[in-house]
Amino acid sequence: MKLAHGEICCWERHLKWGSAPRSLWRQLNKLDSVQAHGLCYSAIKTLQAGSAKFEDGKKVGRYSYDTIQNLLLDFERAGLAGPSFEEDEGPLAGLLVFQVHGQRMHDFLCERDGNICRYIGWSRAVRLAKGTP
């Protein structure tokens, strides 16, 4: 990801414009619970309803339930979100609950070299944190 001098990178910049991952990421970050505490309490159908599919810069529909479900698993594997679990009881029964990782996790999993920000992934980030290349 190429940045202007002094510009700060974030997860959204790494996700392709108009793509399903970017749409879902933007939807997650609009949730009040994510903004306040970094936690998502939502049903996949709710996330599906808020995700917009674009073609040629125009909104043309929503992504499927399976696409949203698979993207959440991809986000978890990539470090963008924590493991999810489904609430069984109380006011959140039936909702998925998971942590949405923000800027600190971006800075841990990405490496900046001048004006370039690269996603380096978990294994390399952990090696660098331990002081081994």
Domains of the chain and any CATH numbers: 11-101 (1.10.10)
The answer to pTM > 0.95 is no
Q: Provide φ and ψ at 54, rounded to 5°.
A: -120, 145
Best CA proximity match to 9, nearest among 105, 84, 100: 105
Q: What angle, rounded to 10 degrees, do the helices at 20-30 and 65-78 form?
A: 80
Q: Which residues make Cβ contacts (< 8 Å) with residue 129, sequence separation at least 6? A: 108
Best CA proximity match to 95, nearest among 50, 52, 46: 46
Please give the pLDDT value at position 133.
Answer: 60
How many angstroms separate the CA atoms of 21 and 58, rounded? 17
How many angstroms separate the CA atoms of 27 and 58, rounded? 17
pLDDT tens digits for the chain (133 residues)? 788 888 888 888 888 887 889 889 888 988 898 989 888 988 888 898 888 787 777 888 889 999 999 999 998 888 888 888 877 777 776 778 888 888 888 888 888 888 899 888 877 777 777 776 6
Name 2's bridge partners.
116
